[in-house]
Chains A and B, each alone.
Chain A
Amino acid sequence: MSDSGYRQIMADGMWNNNVAFVQILGMCPLLAVSTTLVNGLGMGLATMATLVASNGLVSMIRQVVRPEIRIPVFVVIIASVVTVIELVMNAYFHQLYKILGIFIPLIVTNCSILGRAEAFASKNSVGRSLADGLFMGLGFTVALVLLGALREFAGHGTVFSQVYLMFGHGADFLTTQLIPHYRGFLLAVLPPGAFLGLGLLIALKNVIDQRLAERAAAREARPTAAQPAA
């Protein structure tokens, strides 16, 4: 496949077909764990690892698996991958694992993973499938991090709190109290804050898309408008 193929995969995953903002998939973990930036990042990376591994494996076996048993096979693959990731997180990021809790095993039920296996990986080469998993996961991670940062900032007035859970105490300098003596804004921390925050982010994306479309339309219109002057 050509280079532009991969660029398209990247643009789709990160923006045009973003799991969280466009497909609106994986809402349960997205809304539940995005209380802080670090939680969002941890959840996003775990989901991304799952997507890359499951896409890669599904693509590898796509010639072998018959259509009638493909869904159960995909489910077995995804469940195994998630369990492995859960165990590894428990071993190496124990505290973060404790915080994310039940949402790590629940990655299995994130529709975007089975969705990408079925819609993309079962029809594309291993390389393209890995790239699709990577960028879909990255798009989801960016959404989680943005929403987490937004809620953490609005709710606690901080960013990067508890960053040591992921990067050790060497990264503690990242933790910043942006508003001193902030009293906290409970709504942002509680579940409604997740819905409101996600709504705002989706609206923002749509505004940007609209601007881009208008600009593209204007650019197309210009050559004909400029012609008489020339």
Chain B
Amino acid sequence: MAIVKNMSVSAVLLGLFAIVGTALVAYTYSATKDRIAANERAILLRTLHTLIPANEADNDMAKDTIEVTSPQYLGTRKPVTVYRARKDGKPVAAVFTTIAPNGYGGPIKLLVAVRYDGTIAGVRVVSDQETPGLGDAIESDKSDWIYSFTGKSLQNPDKKGWAVKRDGGQFDQFTGATISPRAVVKAVHDTLLYFKQHRDALFSPRPASKAETSAADGEQAPTSEGPSHE
């Protein structure tokens, strides 16, 4: 009996500590969660506004979103969020959270802002695992390379030009790193192709079911996991 009593006391003690610990975490969570959500929103909005200047849109881009799925063009089987910029109710631009699936260190998450007329307002890397000092020059704070997309469209350059210079295109690669820029160029180009096909559905007020059909037109959908063997 003594053993049972001893064990019960230990169990109760342990349970008490677990409750106190959980209460502490729960309290901190509720005290900080609004601020954390505000931080995340602020960062998202700031990034969106570097692509679409605040004076060009008057809607709440962070809230005006649509989810679309296209493994062929947007680099992932999962739904991709598209932020929509409007002014006076008219569509201004769509910002895609495209994934470049074949980066050197894994998928590269991008933000690709496409204006309603099909030109690129800007591209930014959201996260990547490219080699520091080589492939990570795709990031805007490491080099100016990512700005070379601004103003481009499907006509400028033509299909052949949408590649790195080594592949006969017109985008620079980096010394010692071709795979990362190649992956980004392809992802941006694919996003433009997607935009061209689905432009009106993308700006429809309610999530369009049309956009879903594009999932079927990927005959050889690239996998979103892992680097390709390039």
Judge whether A80 and B24 touch: CB under 8 Å.
Answer: yes
- Chain A positions within 8 Å of B, measured between CB atoms, are 35, 61, 64-66, 68-69, 72-73, 76-77, 79-80, 83-84, 87-88, 90-92, 94-95, 155, 184, 186, 189-190
Contacts of A91 in B (CB 8 A): 32, 35-36, 39
| 27 A-B pairs whose Cβ atoms sit less than 8 Å apart in the complex | A66-B10, A69-B10, A69-B13, A73-B14, A73-B17, A76-B17, A76-B21, A77-B17, A77-B21, A80-B21, A80-B24, A83-B28, A84-B25, A87-B28, A87-B36, A90-B32, A91-B32, A91-B36, A91-B39, A94-B40, A94-B43, A155-B133, A184-B133, A186-B132, A186-B134, A190-B131, A190-B132
Does B62 belong to the interface (CB within 8 Å)? Answer: no
Question: Do B134 and A79 touch across chains, with their CB atoms under 8 A apart?
Answer: no
In the bound assembly, the distance between CA atoms of A66 and B13 in angstroms comes to 9
Given A91-B32, A186-B134, A189-B132, A79:B13 Cβ within 8 A = no
B54 at the interface (CB under 8 A from A): no
Whole-angstrom distance between the alpha carbons of A151 and B17 in the complex? 41
Q: Are A83 and B25 in contact (CB under 8 A)?
A: yes
Within 8 A of A (CB), among B198-216: none
Q: B residues within 8 A CB of A66? A: 9-10, 13
**Extra contacts besides A66-B9, A190-B133 (4): CB < 8 Å:** A84-B24, A90-B39, A189-B132, A189-B133
CB-CB < 8 A to B17: which residues of A?
61, 65, 73, 76-77
The reply on B147 being an interface residue by CB < 8 A is no
Kindly list chain B residues whose C-beta atoms are within 8 Å of the C-beta of A94: 36, 39-40, 43
Structural contact, B21 and A79, CB atoms closer than 8 A: yes
Proximity string of chain B (27-48) to chain A, C-beta cutoff 8 Å, 1 when within and 0 when not: 0110010011001100100000
Q: Is B59's CB within 8 Å of the partner chain A? A: no
Q: How far is the CA of A48 from the CA of B13 in the complex (A)?
A: 27
With CB as the reference atom, state the residue of chain B lying closest to A186.
B133
A87 touches B134 (CB 8 A): no
> For this complex, into which size category does the number of interface residues on chain B fall?
20 to 34
Closest 8 CB pairs of A and B: A80-B21, A91-B32, A94-B39, A91-B35, A186-B133, A84-B28, A76-B21, A87-B32
Roughly how many angstroms separate A29 CA and B64 CA in the complex, as a whole number?
39
CA distance A72 to B18 in the complex (A): 9
Chain A: minimal CB distance from B132 (Å): 5
**Cα–Cα distance between A77 and B19 once the two chains are bound (Å):** 11
Residue among B9, B17, B39 with max Cβ neighbours from chain A (10 Å): B17
User: Chain B residues with Cβ under 8 A from A90's Cβ?
Assistant: 32, 36, 39
**Chain B: residues with CB nearer than 8 A to chain A?**
9-10, 13-14, 17-18, 20-22, 24-25, 28-29, 32, 35-36, 39-40, 43, 131-134
- List the B side residues contacting A61 at CB < 8 Å: 17
The distance in angstroms between the C-alpha atoms of A88 and B25, with both chains bound, is: 11
Instruction: Report the minimum CB–CB distance from A115 to chain B (whole Å).
Output: 19
Whole-angstrom distance from the CB of A189 to the nearest CB of chain B? 5
Q: How far is the CA of A205 from the CA of B22 in the complex (A)?
A: 41
Q: Which chain A residue lies CB-closest to B11? A: A69
CA distance A92 to B171 in the complex (A): 39
CB distance from A46 to the nearest CB of B (A): 14
Q: Is there contact, CB below 8 Å, between B14 and A69?
A: yes
Residues of B within 8 A of A76 (CB): 14, 17-18, 21
Considering the chains assembled together, what is the distance between the CA atoms of A184 and B17 in angstroms?
Answer: 50
CA of A68 to CA of B13, assembled, Å: 11
Contact A80 B13 (CB under 8 A): no
Does A65 contact B32, Cβ atoms closer than 8 Å? no
Residues of B close to A72: CB separation below 8 A: 14
Interchain nearest-CB distance for B20 vs A (Å): 8
**A88→B28 contact, CB < 8 A:** yes
Q: Choose among A88, A95, A186 the residue that contacts B32 (Cβ–Cβ < 8 A).
A: A88
Q: How far is the CA of A86 from the CA of B36 in the complex (A)?
A: 11
Query: Nearest chain-B residue to A187 (Cβ)?
Result: B133
Q: How far is the CA of A67 from the CA of B180 in the complex (A)?
A: 55
Residues of A within 8 A of B39 (CB): 90-91, 94
Bound Cα distance from A64 to B14, whole angstroms: 11
